[in-house]
Chain A
């Protein structure tokens, strides 16, 4: 599969590396050229030598998305550090470029829930943390 990851932070770069190891074609878009270091980290060779793609560009610029390969993407992962950017680019990927699978990271639980109802596949780390902490603290069986 061809996987486009927008936002090479901790989550985005880790998922990109795992996907590449699993044999997928992976392209990463980030506005910060230095985010490339996150991708090289823990790799024996550079991200490109390992077969990955990296594009510097702003996620809202359609040209940057196209250069990063959104038109060929089977999977789109919105993992920038901003909820609002993620929610907008995920909808662009889904509605304009018809990417079959779109996954979007949203820290705000309320909006993660509402946009999930609207048909976006949202992942809310905050909600997971709340559930885990609640279970660890309050569930006598845990």
Chain B
């Protein structure tokens, strides 16, 4: 796979290194001269100097044949526009953009830049994972595919506790895909019995959370109960 990475900061440099290590062809583009010279010591011809928001810089890097363009500069406008021209002018099939300021995520969406990855958001998710507020953590949302994966802890006295997976009353469009018990995860069978204290992972159509949560909370209470 041929990958163009824009922005040789910590994220871009390490990404380029990892991708090269996995045997991919990579060009890293950096617009700041001093940074470029530092990174060039290690990556040599795999890094190019230039402002990738300019079309000729992308063309020099061979964007016409790129399979993937990743824009991870520290500037959201730059990341948006690099991905926009990669996708719409050069018809690159796959793009990934970094969102520096989570408030700008709406603009990435408006311009059709997906996926847009926000480190702040990811860290927030991790915090929620460690300190669950409602006992429900959204692990992954595939917006294009319209699927979500969530994690729930099974409370004492929850309707699902003590039931076979088969018998848990779940809405159409949801499925228990994994059970975490005493630190170990496994894929349940239809006759696996759900125990209080288990953490279960479910895959579901978006919007079903509120119908699913009561099965796993004490006495079927809602998220705030």
On A, residues with C-beta under 8 Å from B are 60-62, 82-85, 87-88, 91-92, 95-96, 108, 110-111, 114, 118
Contact = CB atoms under 8 A, between A and B. Distances in A.
A88 B54 CA distance: 15
Contacts of B81: 84, 87-88
B77 interface: yes
Most A C-beta atoms less than 10 A away, residue of B75, B77, B104: B77
A97 to B, nearest CB: 10
B53 to A, nearest CB: 6
Interface residues of B, number: 19
A103 to B, nearest CB: 18
Interface of B: 53-56, 75-78, 80-81, 85, 88-89, 103-104, 106-107, 110-111
A111 B55 contact: yes
A61 B106 CA distance: 10
B53 A83 contact: yes
A62 B106 contact: yes
B interface majority secondary structure:
helix
B55 A61 contact: no
A111 B80 CA distance: 14
Contacts of A61: 103
Given A110-B54, A110-B56, A88 B85 contact: no
B110 A85 contact: no
A88 B56 contact: no
Given A60-B77, A82-B77, A114-B85, A92 B54 contact: no
16 contacts: A60-B104, A61-B103, A82-B77, A83-B53, A84-B77, A84-B81, A87-B77, A88-B77, A88-B111, A91-B110, A92-B107, A95-B111, A96-B110, A108-B53, A110-B55, A110-B56
A85 B77 contact: yes
A82 B76 CA distance: 13
A86 B140 CA distance: 33
Contacts of A92: 107, 110
A110 B53 CA distance: 11
B51 to A, nearest CB: 9
A84 B78 contact: yes
B54 A111 contact: yes
B107 A88 contact: yes
